Amino acid sequence: VIRKLTKRPAQPPAAEVLATWTPVQVDEVIAQINGDIGEIDSRRDSAQSRINNKLSQVAKGRTLLSYEQSRLEEDQETVARLAEKLEPLYAELRPYDDEYTRRRWTRYWIVDNTNGHVHNTRHCQTCYPTTQYRWLTELSGSDDAACIELVGETACTVCMPDAPKFKGFGDGQSGWAKNTAEEIAEKERMKAEKAAKQAEKAITDVDGSPLRHDHSTIRTLVSAKQALNNAVENALIYPNSEDRYTEQRNHLAAAIAHKTGETIENVIAAAEKSVAARRRRQERQYPHLAALAAPQQDQT
Ligand SMILES: [Zn+2]
């Protein structure tokens, strides 16, 4: 269950209102503002590095080509425009940051890679200055016991040395372990549903063995019905091989009847009806081919 993030107000609330907010609410809004700042920052950084690159070439005495010069000016405009966009974001951030500075609650981060652990500080000795973290704002203001109840053995035992004593650590009962178990159960359920749907479509011979037809195996009811229609039509078109196609027809019809619970006679009657309809349709659409559809010598 994904909980909805705290809605970011158009204007930050007054200090006395923010004082009533939970740490989770404050940090979720901070994280949203930080996200916007980070996005603008990275666009500004790439424009700035293009500018620096060109200016250093100019400093070495190279003259910029006219398109390079106009790209440089564009980038300089971009940097100025983005800097203007950052200002109100930092202003928006300030009251929330002030509230954190006033109350100083706990915060938790997960190292953003596979098998990354959850830490209660970004200065854990197991991490490096370049370590990328993702902020677990839903744990803001919690204590280590509550953190471990949620994240289980993902908790770092260096910055949370008591972790193994807490509920959820390594016992499969943590919130994340239960989520994973639910995800697995859901996947199993969908797999079973898919298998049931396939079984609904699948066909075998009447004795349960694969339905062999014309040197291949027919696996679905739909293709068995198509093959039956072809056998019925071929018996009409190739009277010389009528016996062979009639045998195919009877074999396929028996398998279909076994699958659907209809009588063999009804299955054959339905196939004959659909073949007759198909031939009438073809004759209307392609009158010049009607002669070809008339009985002819079997070529096989
Ligand atoms: Zn740690």
How much is the pLDDT for 114?
83
Alpha-carbon distances, residue 92 vs 6, 103, 158 (angstroms): 15, 19, 35
Ligand 1 centroid–CA 61 distance in Å is: 51
Ligand 1 centroid–CA 290 distance in Å is: 81
Q: Is 124 left (phi over 0), alpha (psi -120 to 50) or beta?
A: beta
Ligand 1 centroid–CA 25 distance in Å is: 24
> Residue 231 and residue 244: Cα distance in Å, rounded?
9
How much is the pLDDT for 292?
62
Ligand 1 centroid–CA 147 distance in Å is: 13
Answer whether 82's CB lies under 8 Å from 45's CB: no
How much is the pLDDT for 284?
87
- pLDDT of residue 6 exceeding 70, the answer is yes
Q: Which residue has the higher pLDDT, 285 or 52?
A: 52
Task: Using pLDDT thresholds of 50, 70 and 90, give the confidence band for residue 161.
Answer: very high
Average pLDDT over residues 78-104: 96
Q: What is the pLDDT of residues 203-249, one digit of tens each?
A: 999 999 999 998 999 999 999 999 999 999 999 999 999 999 999 99
Task: Using pLDDT thresholds of 50, 70 and 90, give the confidence band for residue 129.
Answer: confident
Ligand 1 centroid–CA 116 distance in Å is: 10
Scan for tokens 């859901």, then name that residue: 186
Average pLDDT over residues 244-256: 96
> Residue 44 and residue 80: Cα distance in Å, rounded?
9
Ligand 1 centroid–CA 151 distance in Å is: 13
Ligand 1 centroid–CA 167 distance in Å is: 18
Alpha-carbon distances, residue 2 vs 144, 187, 241 (angstroms): 22, 18, 65
Ligand 1 centroid–CA 271 distance in Å is: 71
Residues 76-90 as b or e (16 or more Cβ within 10 Å = b): bebbeebeeeeeeee
Answer whether 117's CB lies under 8 Å from 111's CB: yes
Ligand 1 centroid–CA 120 distance in Å is: 6
Give Cβ neighbours of residue 244 (< 8 Å, ≥ 6 apart).
Answer: none
How much is the pLDDT for 294?
61
Containing 71, the helix (H) or strand (E) segment is: helix 66-103
- pLDDT of residue 16 exceeding 70, the answer is yes
How much is the pLDDT for 15?
95
- CA 95 to chain CA centroid, Å, is 37
Ligand 1 centroid–CA 113 distance in Å is: 14
User: How many C-beta atoms surround the C-beta of residue 133 within 10 A?
Assistant: 16
Of 141, 133, 139, 140, whose CA–CA distance to 152 is shortest? 139
Task: Give the DSSP letter of residue 287.
Answer: G
- pLDDT of residue 297 exceeding 90, the answer is no
- pLDDT of residue 290 exceeding 80, the answer is no
How much is the pLDDT for 299?
57
How much is the pLDDT for 296?
61
Scan for tokens 């053995």, then name that residue: 153
- pLDDT of residue 291 exceeding 80, the answer is no
How much is the pLDDT for 3?
67
- Give the CA-trace dihedral at 44, 138, 126, 177, to 10 degrees: -130
pTM: 0.62
User: How many C-beta atoms surround the C-beta of residue 99 within 10 A?
Assistant: 23
Ligand 1 centroid–CA 155 distance in Å is: 8
Ligand 1 centroid–CA 110 distance in Å is: 9
How much is the pLDDT for 113?
87
How much is the pLDDT for 293?
57
Q: Which residue has the higher pLDDT, 1 or 249?
A: 249
How much is the pLDDT for 82?
96
Of 276, 218, 278, 222, whose CA–CA distance to 251 is shortest? 218
Ligand 1 centroid–CA 123 distance in Å is: 8
Q: What is the pLDDT of residues 20-71, one digit of tens each?
A: 999 999 999 999 999 999 999 999 999 999 999 999 999 999 999 999 999 9
Judged by DSSP in three states, 24 sits in helix
Ligand 1 centroid–CA 125 distance in Å is: 7
- pLDDT of residue 2 exceeding 70, the answer is no
How much is the pLDDT for 283?
85
Residues 53-67 as b or e (16 or more Cβ within 10 Å = b): ebeeeeeeeeeeeee
- pLDDT of residue 110 exceeding 80, the answer is yes
Average pLDDT over residues 75-91: 96
Ligand 1 centroid–CA 159 distance in Å is: 4
Task: Give the DSSP letter of residue 202.
Answer: B
- pLDDT of residue 1 exceeding 60, the answer is no
Q: What is the mean pLDDT of the chain?
A: 92
Report residue 101 as tokens: 């500075």
